[in-house]
């Protein structure tokens, strides 16, 4: 089912109708259990690039609300993409994170670094396409949405949706730069996102523990919650990256 306007989606409150009126992209409704199949169909159709937003459509739409006064909501897509092209990833990400530590002492900075840990006997399981189901019940949502973005380049989706810039989540241009770097190296493709999560599928996994650990350290700097509130150690994250085709990023 394809809709461009949802009179009942949010209970038809005036402010939500206003946001929908300013949202320029196609919206497709499906079920959580069918979300991946529908995403594949839309991708093959070649009329843009789909991204599954789960049941978080209102959160995706908020950056298109002209009255929300969000700092980054009115940034032109081309401005974000130009900023992304200027980023050297991961070097500039690491430089940004070190700058955020400010005047902390070397000892305090060391305390902030995650444990490397021992390589686990069994890799933690990735949540996969987490935006399509309720993590508390492990059941698919009865209704989810897919947004079709007018681009043939999936790495630009964060720019078109102006996604990022909250809490410790990087600004949209860093997501574009990260996705381009990981696309070139691992065949990474953004499949799903919601208010605080990215689901990325990869075609190539790290081939060695050394490569997986190096990647895990970068992913920690990109999204520390996946370790600190997730798998707990860099080694556990590295093992997951070697075992699974899905990457999970979540900013609390």
* Domain boundaries, given as residue ranges, for the chain: 2-250
- For residues 99 and 143, give the distance between their C-alpha atoms in angstroms, rounded to a whole number: 41
Q: Which tens digit of pLDDT belongs to each residue from 88-133?
A: 999 999 999 989 887 677 666 666 678 899 999 999 999 999 999 9
Write down the pLDDT at residue 50.
98
192 and 51 in contact (C-beta within 8 Å)?
yes
What are the C-alpha distances in Å from 160 to residues 106, 224, 233?
A: 39, 25, 33
Write down the pLDDT at residue 111.
61
At residue 237, the 3 state secondary structure works out as helix
- For residues 69 and 63, give the distance between their C-alpha atoms in angstroms, rounded to a whole number: 9
- For residues 155 and 84, give the distance between their C-alpha atoms in angstroms, rounded to a whole number: 10
Total-model pTM: 0.90
Token pair 């996102």 is found at 193
Beta strand 144-149 with 26-30 is antiparallel
């Amino acid at each position: 089912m394809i809709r461009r306007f949802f009179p009942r989606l949010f209970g038809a409150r005036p402010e939500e109708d206003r946001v929908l009126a300013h949202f320029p992209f196609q919206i497709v409704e499906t079920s959580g259990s069918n979300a991946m199949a529908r995403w594949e169909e839309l991708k093959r159709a070649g009329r843009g690039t789909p991204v599954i937003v789960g049941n978080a459509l209102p959160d995706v739409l908020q950056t298109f609300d002209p009255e929300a006064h969000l700092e980054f909501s009115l940034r032109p897509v081309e401005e974000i993409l130009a900023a992304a092209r200027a980023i050297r990833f991961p070097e500039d990400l690491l430089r940004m994170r070190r700058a955020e530590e400010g005047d902390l002492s070397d000892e305090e900075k060391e305390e902030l670094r995650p444990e490397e840990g021992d390589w686990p006997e069994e890799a933690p399981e990735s949540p996969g396409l987490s935006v399509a189901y309720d993590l508390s019940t492990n059941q698919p949502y009865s209704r989810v949405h897919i947004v079709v973005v007018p681009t043939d380049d999936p790495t630009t989706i964060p720019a078109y949706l102006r996604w990022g810039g909250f809490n410790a989540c990087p600004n949209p241009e860093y997501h574009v730069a990260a996705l381009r770097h990981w696309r070139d190296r691992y065949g990474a493709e953004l499949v799903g996102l919601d208010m605080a999560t990215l689901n990325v599928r990869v075609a190539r996994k790290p081939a060695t523990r050394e490569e997986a650990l190096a990647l895990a350290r970068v992913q920690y700097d990109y999204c520390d919650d996946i370790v600190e509130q997730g798998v707990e150690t860099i080694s556990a994250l590295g093992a997951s990256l070697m075992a699974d085709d899905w990457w999970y990023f979540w900013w609390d």
